[in-house]
Amino acid sequence: MRTTVEFEGIDELILTKAVELGLARSKTSALRMGVFALNREYKLVKDIELELVERKIMKEKGKMNKKGEKYLSEEKALAEYK
């Protein structure tokens, strides 16, 4: 996801300080650190890997539905290797 944001005031000051003090390489990195801190604090995503896999599967299913494709059964998928 690509997003453009503009910060002024205290937000911009905090991001700049994080870079100046070497906590982050860039303001973008500082924002990423903030996102991870937000997740750590509020447990928004409990199992990140599981969530990413689930989203990938849903995306693939959507693509397959658009093309009218179906998953192969285990038997059909392994048939040529037997």
Please state the domain extents for the chain: 1-44, 49-82
d(CA 35, CA 15): 13
d(CA 52, CA 71): 20
Higher pLDDT, 74 or 39: 39
CA angle 76, 59, 53 (to 5 degrees): 80
pTM of the model: 0.68
Give the pLDDT confidence of 2-27 residue by residue, as tens digits: 999 999 999 999 999 999 999 999 99
The predicted pLDDT at position 29 comes to 97
Give the pLDDT confidence of 32-64 residue by residue, as tens digits: 999 999 999 999 999 999 999 999 999 999 999
Q: pLDDT-derived band of residue 1, with 50, 70 and 90 as boundaries?
A: confident
Q: Are 61 and 67 in contact (CB under 8 A)?
A: no
